[in-house]
Chains A and B, each alone.
Chain A
Amino acid sequence: MTFFTDAAAFLPVLLNGLQVSAILTLLSLLFGLPLAGVLAFGIMSKNRVARLIAIAIVEVGRGAPALVLLQLMYFGLPDVGITLSALASATVALTWTTAAYCAEYLRGGLSAVPAGEIEGSQALGMTTADTLRYIIIPQGWRIALPSLMGFAVILFQATSLAYTVTVQEMMSQAYSLGASTFKYLTVFVLAGLLYAVISIPATWLSVLLEKRMARHL
């Protein structure tokens, strides 16, 4: 029974941390998704320079572990005179990861729009801007949506790494509770369950969405 009494005492502190985890997730999506859109068009651009820059940003963002980017922003940026708060540097790092992964999902979605639709809109005399605005983007982002949701779940889990750069999110709260009470098992199991309670239904939702989309496409 001690698990439950301990858990009841730990829960409010962990929930405070969970708020920070959620804020970090939302901020990274807020900045990362628009950037991902820009990068997706950059990768598909005919301009060589733009394409190479976009590919480099995406490859580093996907190739380097989120943990390395987090520490690069927190321990590295002060060396070049940029000192950010813990939350800000974690947001920058995870925004990069988000932008890189989501750029690939969006690019995949946009290029999955059937060529006949684009040829059709050109034959109808639509401008390139209108083709993008009314034909390619509305369909492309819907194709990418399930992958984007799946990524959001992974991003939420990745915020647990932000404790290494002293962001006061759930893992850091769990760690200090563990260090002060020595009830490591209880507190980490509880933290793990809190992550699971959010991640698992969110994953189901993205799978459900994928099935529903498959019906229409």
Chain B
Amino acid sequence: MLLTVLAGIPLTISVTAVALVIGTIGSLPLLFGILSGNRLVWLIARGIIDLCRGIPIVVWMFILFYGVTIGGTKLSAFGAAVLGLGIVSAAYLAEIFRGAISSVAAGQYEAARALGMTPRAVWGDIVGPQAWRVAIPGYTTYGIGLLKDSSIASTIGVAEMVFRSNSYARTTGEGITVFLVAAAIYVIVSVPVGVLSRKADEKLSAVVAR
């Protein structure tokens, strides 16, 4: 029984990892949008973020899995799951990154500009590293949340942990242990990731001046 649940871990992790990559890449254009001085661009980015977050993940997955056909072929369950999670993640991550960037003192940006640094250097060497340090705790917390949200992929048939627990419960009629084991694994995985993020944060705060 334990093996049945454990066999789902690789898919749980790959759904989470791929969705996090999609979400991180997708958050960048949204981030530039909400940082933009152009009112129209800002409004569009804001609207997209609100809509992405306003629709539950399971609904996104169902829209993509049952509703979307590209050139006559349906998305695979895995594809629909990571894309659905990625869309919602992009919106949340854009907000996390925006918060981090606005926490960097405006003087840092202004001083870098006054020294004649190129925008690329200002963002890459001054604002970026400081903002990233602020963003790390939020980013990892979101990553852990995503690990738990990856369980929603079971609803469209991705054979990750919850899907396997569910089929085990249905075939053997024994549900309590298998779901307790699944719950325990999520809790066990979440805790070390949280500890690692705190360690990374400490290490970075030692290197980067506040």
Bound-state Cα–Cα, A64 to B59, Å? 21
In the assembled complex, the Cα of A193 lies from the Cα of B60 at a distance in Å of: 11
Q: In the complex, A65 Cα to B152 Cα: how many Å?
A: 9
Q: Does A37 contact B (CB under 8 A)?
A: no
Alpha-carbon distance A184/B61, docked complex (angstroms) = 12
Residues in A with CB closer than 8 Å to B179 are 68, 71-72, 75-76
Provide the residues of chain B in CB contact with A65, threshold 8 Å. Answer: 148-149, 151-152, 162, 186
**B residues near A8, Cβ cutoff 8 Å:** none
B111 interfacial by beta-carbon distance below 8 Å: no
Which single residue of chain B is at the shortest CB-CB distance from A80? B176
For residue A76, which residues in chain B have a CB less than 8 angstroms away from its CB?
169, 175-180
Counting residue pairs across A and B whose Cβ atoms lie within 8 Å, the total is 128
Report whether over half of chain B's contact residues are helix, strand or loop; otherwise say mixed.
Answer: helix
Q: What are the residues of chain B within 8 A of A191 when measuring CB–CB?
A: 59
Q: Which candidate, B27-35, B49-57, B99-107, B198-206, is the interface stretch facing chain A? A: B49-57
B62 close to A (CB within 8 Å): yes
Most buried by B among A76, A78, A174: A76
A114 touches B (CB below 8 Å): no
Q: Is the CB of B169 within 8 A of A161?
A: no
The answer to whether B148 touches A64, judged by C-beta atoms less than 8 angstroms apart, is: yes
Q: Which residues of B contact A63 (CB under 8 A)?
A: 148, 183, 186-187, 190-191
Question: Is A72 a contact partner of B176 (Cβ separation < 8 A)?
Answer: yes
Interface residues in A145-201 (C-beta closer than 8 Å to B): 157-158, 160-161, 163-164, 171, 174-175, 178, 184-186, 188-189, 191-193, 195-197, 199-200
Is B125 among interface residues, defined by CB-CB distance under 8 A?
Answer: no
Contact of A192 among B63, B151, B154, B182 (CB under 8 A): B63
Question: Cβ of A188 and Cβ of B66 under 8 Å apart?
Answer: yes
- Chain A residues lying within 8 Å of B67, measured Cβ to Cβ, are 184-186, 188-189
Query: A203 at the A/B interface (Cβ < 8 Å)?
Result: yes
- How far is A157 from B52 in the complex, measured between Cα atoms in Å? 12
Residue in B60, B63, B183, B191 whose Cβ sees the most chain A Cβ within 10 Å:
B183
A56 vs B63: C-alpha distance when bound (angstroms): 37
From 7 to 58 in chain B, residues with beta carbon under 8 angstroms from any chain A beta carbon are 50-51, 53-58
Closest A residue to B63 by beta carbon equals: A188
Say whether A144 faces chain B, with CB atoms less than 8 Å apart: no
Enumerate A65-110 residues with CB–CB distance to B below 8 Å.
65, 67-69, 71-72, 74-80
Partner-B contacts on A (CB < 8 A): 59-60, 63-65, 67-69, 71-72, 74-80, 157-158, 160-161, 163-164, 171, 174-175, 178, 184-186, 188-189, 191-193, 195-197, 199-200, 203
